[in-house]
Amino acid sequence: MTNAEAFLKTAQIDGETIGSLYDQWLPQELISLADDITCVTFSDALSDRKAVWYFNESREYCGSHVEVVQRLQPSDILSSVSPWFDALFRNALSATPSALGGARPLPLFLATQLAAAWSVRMMADLRQVQTALIEQDREIARVDDKPLSARDVRRLLGARIGPETLVVLSPFSGAPLRSQISFVVDHQLIHRFYDPELDCAFYLAWWERQLDAPPSFYCPKANVVVSDETLAGMLPSLILGWYLGTPEHAEMIAQAQAFEARDYGLGKASSLMSEVNAPSAPLPAVPDAASADMISESWAFLHQHQPAGHSPADTSKDPKPSGKLIDRLRSLVKKK
């Protein structure tokens, strides 16, 4: 008998002991978030669906989602994980990651559920800008007195997935940056980039089945998402959840290979431009990719008011990749 099964034998739902579970649902992990808050996770062997039950200190069932619980408050649950997300936000999400001491290993679906609930409370000022609104050359935000211009973001939105390692120009310093890591969460392929000049991370994200479409752009230090995707506001919580559910993320990022001009001779640099526009390019191998089939409902639960009047930009007007990448690569190769 597992720890989760043993716990359920002593737990109650509405004052009654738990006799049996629905067919196919199996208890998986017993997770103690705090002295008075315990989680039991479940999986459906047929559909691979995941679920969680929250229990209080009396082992009474309180609910199956952090936003909808009885006998507990969402704030009670979040207070136990807030220190982890605070540290992840300051370091791994925005800048240079560091080891997350004291964090309990959580399955990805639970980590993203908790991250979404934390994000809508602590990141309520996150801005989402539609791509149609960045057609003009204007400043979107600033990071350490460095402007994030609409022109530079449009250039990033022209990036496409190909067989080569993804390389883009920093929207702040203009330096070529190699994707440090990539991972899959809730069917989104997310690439992390890091500009050491500003100690600033940013992300490009594609739906797995729409790799030929423009990505969503997210920069935590600029506090902005640029995307026409309705769920793009979920990016911070998906990334935070993946970091929490992947304790080795700091080591993976630290070991990531930086951009080296010698790795991109003129032949490869030229191929980047042709591959950018290849819609049929296969999905590259993702190191230690994780996936979760359950998108947390927290964002939709608390953010039902989507801005009206904005329609997705016409994909026929997708910005083309700038030739500045090739110019920068050539100059670096010559310096070598």
- pLDDT tens digit sequence for 100-136: 888 888 999 999 999 999 999 999 999 999 988 877 6
- pLDDT tens digit sequence for 223-258: 999 999 999 999 999 999 999 999 999 999 999 877
Residues 127 and 220 sit within 8 Å (Cβ to Cβ): no
First-to-last alpha carbon distance for the chain, in angstroms, is: 62
Mean pLDDT value of segment 57-78: 96
SS3 (DSSP) at 276? helix
Quote the CA–CA distance of 103 and 83 in Å, as a whole number: 9
Quote the CA–CA distance of 67 and 115 in Å, as a whole number: 12
How is the chain split among helix, strand and coil, in percent rounded to 5? 35, 25, 45
Instruction: Indicate if the pLDDT at residue 153 is higher than 70.
Output: yes
Of these ranges, 105-114, 277-286, 292-301, 302-311, the one predicted with the greatest mean pLDDT is 105-114
Task: Name every residue whose Cβ is closer than 8 Å to that of residue 334 and which is 6 or more positions away in sequence.
Answer: none
Instruction: Indicate if the pLDDT at residue 307 is higher than 60.
Output: no
